Amino acid sequence: LSSCLSNEAEDEISRHPCYNEEAHRFFARMHIPVAPACNIQCHYCNRKFDCVNESRPGVVSEVLTPTQAEQKVKGVAAQLMQLSVVGIAGPGDPLANPEVTFDTFERVKEHVPDVSLCLSTNGLTLYRHIEEIVRLGIRHVTITINAIDPDIGREIYPWVFDEGVRYEGREAAELLISRQLQGLELLAARGILVKVNSVMIPGINDQHLPAVSKRVKELGAELHNVTPLIIAPGSQYERDGRKAPRPKELNNLQEILGRDGMKVMRHCRQCRADAIGLLGQDRNQDFVLEKMEADP
Ligand code: CLF
Ligand code: SF4
């Protein structure tokens, strides 16, 4: 870890299963699926399924209301001793659903104060929520940044929707990228630990990701997580016949990024938006709301 981190930040990282590879054997995360809408379109996504930026495509998480989420977090925290992080990562973009997302975080903060809060977003509206994130004590934020060059970004994002305006083509990518980098910089300046996720898309951004890594490191990102493209059924990339990278290609890229001095995450399990347990575990079915309500 970089030596400029405070002791407090190092401690926060040591108990976060995604930010610390050792921690993932001992500490569990819980995702609460309260955020169904999204404000951009990625070519690898099919909106019928969970957001692919931080999850597996082709799975559908059932959306909870903030009240249901509160009950569920209380129940899980009481039963799952290893729980250290509660995150919101979908099934759409959490910041495209700011009311339910922040209402839910507020409830978790109040009722389960000893877990760390984590947020994952495409970053489009991040700059508008910095104060709320700081106020709620959210210490870990993930931004999915697949490109910093709008000419590459336009091959990934056909459109972006913000404040009643729909942007397309290069303009859409340019807006999204500028907001992502702005959000990253603002969060880092407030001492929030930012992880950047990038989806490795062969033939589109695979050669470009070292430049992305370098830029986000300069802006203060703590960690870079490159995940292999998994194409959602019915997505544009499926129609285009795009392919996932081979494991060796992904490993080579991670090695290149690591050589440039970035801390690279290699143990991501591409969780569902409703995942519960240690990374790689999905114990959602062990914590069914109705059952918990009947048997507190
Ligand atoms: Fe969840 Fe993401 Fe927080 Fe982790 S997951 S919101 S940072 S608590 Fe982790 Fe899962 Fe990979 Fe995400 S293994 S998909 S990186
Ligand atoms: Fe789909 Fe997530 Fe992209 Fe939105 S940000 S289009 S939900 S993959």
Alpha carbons 154 and 156: distance in angstroms, whole number:
5
- Whole-number mean pLDDT of the chain? 91
Ligand nearest to the CA of 83: 1
Q: What is the pLDDT of residue 57?
A: 59
Mean pLDDT lowest among 33-37, 145-149, 151-155 = 33-37
**Model confidence over 216-256: pLDDT tens digits?**
999 999 999 999 998 888 889 999 999 999 999 999 999 99
Residue 164 Cα to ligand 1 middle (Å): 30
Alpha carbons 280 and 178: distance in angstroms, whole number:
33
Residue 275 Cα to ligand 1 middle (Å): 10
Q: What is the pLDDT of residue 20?
A: 87
Decide if the complex's ipTM is over 0.85. yes
> Which ligand 1 atom is the nearest neighbour of the CA of 118?
3
Q: What is the pLDDT of residue 195?
A: 97
**Model confidence over 65-90: pLDDT tens digits?**
999 999 999 999 999 988 999 999 98
Place of tokens 């929030």: 192
Order of all β-strands in the sheet with 264-265: 264-265, 223-228, 193-200, 140-144, 116-121, 83-88, 28-31, 276-277
Residue 54 Cα to ligand 1 middle (Å): 7
Ligand 1 contact, 29 CB (< 6 A): yes
| Pocket mutation for ligand 1, best pick of 21, 84, 85, 120 (most atoms within 8 Å of C-beta) | 120
Q: What is the pLDDT of residue 4?
A: 63
Measuring CA to CA, which residue among 72, 68, 10 is closest to residue 296? 72
Residue 200 Cα to ligand 1 middle (Å): 17
**Model confidence over 86-115: pLDDT tens digits?**
999 989 999 999 999 999 999 999 999 999
Alpha carbons 240 and 252: distance in angstroms, whole number:
25
Ligand 2 contact, 42 CB (< 6 A): yes
Ligand nearest to the CA of 118: 1
Nearest CA to ligand 2 atom 2: 51
Ligand 2 contact, 38 CB (< 6 A): yes
Place of tokens 């760390």: 116
| Adjacent-strand bridge partners of 165 | 162
Ligand 2 contact, 229 CB (< 6 A): no
